Structure 1
Amino acid sequence: MTTTIDYYFAPQSPWTYLGHERLTNMAKAAGASIRVRPIDLGRVFPVSGGVQLKDRPKQRQAYRLVELARFRDYLGLPLNLQPQYFPVVPTLASRLITAVQLSEGDAIALKLAGALMAAVWAQERDIANPQTLTQILAESSLPAKYLTQTESVDVQAAYDAYTDSAIELGVFGAPTYVLDGELFWGQDRLMFLEQALLKRA
């Protein structure tokens, strides 16, 4: 039986970006599959005590930048601490990932999600802009039709269902990795997820 990781994330999250490649490599090494689950943090935060970045105390906002720089340098990943297009409304990008996931499967959606995160944090691109998303689809060898599908009832229903599922599980931030009902919140908990995967090997 294949081990499955449910991957709850938001494409605008720098922490999700920092852990994305490590997660995919870890799952591959463990022979595990990943179920792609983009979620609406705008719905998750109010029911879990989360606070939008702009509403956090200045001390927390400042320390966030320190931690991002530390992880960027430690992991050797390109990351602009204050990218041009952030904050960014993630709804269209999240629904695009969902549309691709429904049609192409989790593996292709996972690659697209990584491309969208890199667009925000490494490439200074606006993932709320349909033209940018069309370009990223092309770069990912995916047809532009998926952008149109973001408005479909099925895509919105799936996106809502993933968010509902996250709330029911107790997810309160992104990224959260769920293995057999156990939550691992944050890219800095990937080592614990790896340990859990090794126990199942």
Structure 2
Amino acid sequence: MPHIDYYFSTLSPYAYLAGQRLEEIASKHGAGVTYKPLDIMSLFPRTGGAAPKDRHPARLDYRAQELPRQAKKSGLPFNLKPMFWPTNAAPSSYAIIAAQKAGDGDVGALVHTILRATWAEEKDIAQDEVVRDALQACGFDPKLADSGLLVGAETYAANLEEAVSLGVFGSPFYIVDGTEKFWGQDRLDDLDAFMAGDL
């Protein structure tokens, strides 16, 4: 069975705009998915990138045009300047890691619910109640927000190191069977084609 490792940040607008297309593609091709949230602000400087606040004005200007265009294409509600961004991504990331380990609910839906909270619902994903509500809405025990802290922290750090070693440099980033890499929600069609044997 093919497998997709999905590296992403719960702060990433592009991960949000991917919607749940990854899950649709994985289901279509009978692929497994491992969700690997990571600290994107630590990833950027280690892989030649820069946090948005440190980018050249030309890049920021392009981002301000491109994100609304991509949102329109995706059909998802989107706020270019959400109230609670950037925020601490660790609590939501730990919860995703704990939920994936627990395996009771829908991890893909949980990831999207957390991303949507920031980019469409003006919620702070660093707040415990926001994370607990997302867990419960997606079929998980909301107490995972508390019980998964230690393992979550260890895995979160390990995901970053693994990502750097594999050449991951942004979010969302997909690696099929440990080798074939796709960066960005705008490459999901290519991921689909690759898994179909067309690329």
TM-score by length of 1: 0.92
Q: Secondary structure at the match of 2:196?
A: helix
CA contact 1:72–1:78 (8 Å) conserved in 2 = yes
In structure 2, how many angstroms separate the alpha carbons of the residues matched to 1:35 and 1:140? 17
The two structures, once aligned, show a CA RMSD in angstroms of: 1.6
Q: Secondary structure at the match of 1:195?
A: helix
Q: Deviations over 1:130-177 (max 9, x none)?
A: 12212222222322211112422x222222222211111000011100
Q: Secondary structure at the match of 1:128?
A: coil
| Counterpart residue type for residue 164 of structure 2 | I
The list of structure 1 runs, each at least 4 consecutive aligned residues, that deviate by more than 3 angstroms after superposition, is none
Structure-2 residue corresponding to 1:111:
109
How many residue pairs align between the two structures? 197
Q: Secondary structure at the match of 2:106?
A: helix
CA contact 2:93–2:152 (8 Å) conserved in 1 = no
In structure 1, how many angstroms separate the alpha carbons of the residues matched to 2:90 and 2:152? 12
CA contact 1:126–1:132 (8 Å) conserved in 2 = yes
**Sequence identity of aligned pairs in percent?**
36
In structure 2, how many angstroms separate the alpha carbons of the residues matched to 1:81 and 1:165? 30
Structure-2 residue corresponding to 1:189:
187
**What stretches of structure 1 of length at least 5 have no aligned partner?**
none
- Which residues of 2 match residues 1-201 of structure 1 at below 5 A? 2-104=1-103, 108-152=106-150, 154-180=151-177, 181-199=179-197
**What stretches of structure 2 of length at least 5 have no aligned partner?**
none
Q: Secondary structure at the match of 2:5?
A: strand
| Counterpart residue type for residue 122 of structure 1 | A
